[in-house]
Structure 1
């Protein structure tokens, strides 16, 4: 069950031929980059189970954006992840893969504790000045333990409120691995050198439950796109998330059904299937709603195109960290209607959307924006201005870089 590590970087390869080259790491070289190290102020190792090109989740997107932005600022960025075997686009970051048998990953889920040896070999090969981990799982604890042993500062970036809440044991055969995974996460939360929160409510929960003060509240960041040009009709209502129970896509289908007699309104869903049986039920319900489009999983460029065309964005998730989809919508002048989630009460406080709380109110709030174009456009303009100020990449990336520089001094 040993996990193996490979990479695409000059630390571990005898020659450099681009992002498709893979070589096994059998042990750390003597001080990697000793002769060829660029004049970078810092060597940063990002550690996450997924990489954006292979696993398109919010945390992976944020790490990809942050990593590329820091690389452009002269930081030597390495990204360590579990390789899922699909193609990777060129990037200024240097990529290192942790490999584990797909069968082992399925049988021993969550499998992250089994990556301990491969992760240590990858980090030894890199020789980082600082480690950044995002998403709460065993890798958080493994990074913290490595940092203590090697005297390397480790930053844990909270990705989801659930990572800070009490452990809920699964009711299936995964309990032993889930318990091990959780114990390592808890070790990481306690022993990371610094913790970064996405929003104030996460920082408050961190202090209340873990008696730790967030070293930085760093929002999700996005590049700022041009202002969109939207057609007046039809009115487009959009939903973007992975198709799984936590995201409650059936609540969006219920909403669409409530508008089934409104020909001027089009409902669209975008999202990756997560579970075959759940997907079958979802698609069976879709077939009863002819005015609802389901586009499946799409690259971020297509998602942003759909966002730019949309008039209303709807979120039905039960729980979130800080949804990247909110920011994508706001930057494209799309107000958000959210069933359950409103991080830091920003929708209501900034008047850039609506927090419905109940399915009935979700229908009412959506109808109000569908029918009132002036209100919709006013909220959209306010949302874009807020998103540029609060989530613009260039406006905020410097604060994260300064924290990193302070930690490695």
Structure 2
């Protein structure tokens, strides 16, 4: 098959969907398919060393459409949320090129949903315009041949009849990480929807037990510069900045547990990374697919901040409990989140729509 993948690229931005698209492109190329990866948001055709072709395009509907139509793929795998989605989907439908939409976030499937922004009341007009734009873009699903979601709980929200649940795939390979004190780990790109301030608050509660809180991620929104200032955070809190996926794996492997504060989204890769490293997850609110409760691999606190803090402390100091749950998590992850399984499932769906 001649397959086009559209999303930002892991060489330019470290994110969950970008990592999954790279795994997919590499896996499909290894299976003999011709892969062209279109990376919006970059001008010029930068050199990216991969076993597949990477074309950097301007972040406009016109540029993406032009490049896709010039390449004439057999199918387009779209994992770029709803950015320019309707325009591209309509252009592809007009030329009989099928599109498979890969939903990475619950907002991809909600007609009016947009991610929150800071600014309070002053941001309301801007949020209203963004909601109108999101609703208009949602109309692109009329021209989607199949939809893939990384979370089975999102399937009922799909506006596409041909919909499939395909779990993300992850590698357990890691770069060793050393820290002189016991710690819990928080990993995500930093913005309002991730609620990093809740982790900082929990870190304060761990102070009396000699346990640190390590935060990893790229600051993507304004207003979080204080995380880099030791005078504005607990002395046992440490912001380490962005890290590669292999470095994150090593950091999680050496931690007591994984702490999650993000609002409901899709299925954060960090869950899978933590479980593959044998670490349980303590989540403020979100339990993707209900796996944390179902498999007994951590705790979910229903948005109760007080309970969340208590559970993080309880799990962090009870090493026997966290070790047992971590072993369950590792076994479950190895059985469920294979990269090869993910690649073969997506390949089958792409072949079906062609």
TM-score, normalised by the number of residues in structure 2: 0.89
- CA radius of gyration, larger in: 1
Shift of 1:187: 1.9
Shift of 1:60: 1.3
Match of 1:97, SS?
Answer: strand
Shift of 1:274: 1.6
Q: Does 1:367 align with 2:326?
A: no
Rounded Cα–Cα distance in structure 2 between residues aligned with 1:384 and 1:230: 19
Match of 2:185, SS?
Answer: strand
1:77 corresponds to: 35
**Residue of 114, 117, 122 corresponding to 2:67:** 122
Superposed counterparts of 1:52-201, under 5 Å: 52-84=10-42, 89-99=48-58, 115-168=60-113, 171-173=124-126, 176=129, 179-184=132-137, 186-201=138-153
Rounded Cα–Cα distance in structure 1 between residues aligned with 2:130 and 2:311: 42
Distance 1:293 1:230, change over 3 A: closer
Shift of 1:93: 1.8
1:35 corresponds to: none
Shift of 1:173: 4.5
Shift of 1:380: 0.9
Distance 1:204 1:285, change over 3 A: farther
Distance 1:51 1:231, change over 3 A: closer
Shift of 1:356: 1.5
Shift of 1:225: 3.2
Q: Is the contact between residue 81 and residue 108 of structure 2 (CA under 8 Å) also seen in structure 1?
A: yes
Rounded Cα–Cα distance in structure 1 between residues aligned with 2:176 and 2:328: 16
Rounded Cα–Cα distance in structure 2 between residues aligned with 1:370 and 1:57: 27
How big is the alpha-carbon RMSD for the aligned residues of Structure 1 and Structure 2? 2.5
2:189 corresponds to: 242
1:353 corresponds to: 298
**Residue of 237, 253, 256 corresponding to 2:203:** 256
Q: What is the CA deviation profile of residues 80-120 of structure 1, one whole-angstrom value per residue up to 9, with x for unaligned ones?
A: 122446976411121112125xxxxxxxxxxxxxx122112
**Residue of 289, 296, 311 corresponding to 1:344:** 289
Match of 1:138, SS?
Answer: coil
Q: Is the contact between residue 184 and residue 259 of structure 2 (CA under 8 Å) also seen in structure 1?
A: yes
Q: Is the contact between residue 140 and residue 156 of structure 1 (CA under 8 Å) also seen in structure 2?
A: no
1:274 corresponds to: 220
1:22 corresponds to: none
Q: Does 1:205 align with 2:142?
A: no
| Equivalent residue pairs, number | 344
Shift of 1:136: 2.3
Rounded Cα–Cα distance in structure 1 between residues aligned with 2:288 and 2:331: 18
Rounded Cα–Cα distance in structure 1 between residues aligned with 2:131 and 2:57: 20
Q: Is the contact between residue 2 and residue 33 of structure 2 (CA under 8 Å) also seen in structure 1?
A: yes
Structure 2, unaligned stretches of length 5 or more?
Answer: 115-122
2:345 corresponds to: 399
Instruction: Point out which structure has higher relative CO (alpha carbons under 8 A, 6+ apart).
Output: 2
Shift of 1:168: 4.9
Rounded Cα–Cα distance in structure 2 between residues aligned with 1:243 and 1:80: 25
Q: Is the contact between residue 177 and residue 250 of structure 2 (CA under 8 Å) also seen in structure 1?
A: no
Shift of 1:72: 1.1
Match of 2:84, SS?
Answer: helix
Rounded Cα–Cα distance in structure 1 between residues aligned with 2:180 and 2:244: 25
Rounded Cα–Cα distance in structure 2 between residues aligned with 1:290 and 1:392: 39
Deviates more, 1:142-151 or 1:161-170: 161-170
Q: Is the contact between residue 133 and residue 143 of structure 1 (CA under 8 Å) also seen in structure 2?
A: no
Rounded Cα–Cα distance in structure 1 between residues aligned with 2:113 and 2:272: 30
Distance 1:214 1:268, change over 3 A: farther
Q: Is the contact between residue 256 and residue 279 of structure 2 (CA under 8 Å) also seen in structure 1?
A: yes
1:33 corresponds to: none
Shift of 1:230: 9.7
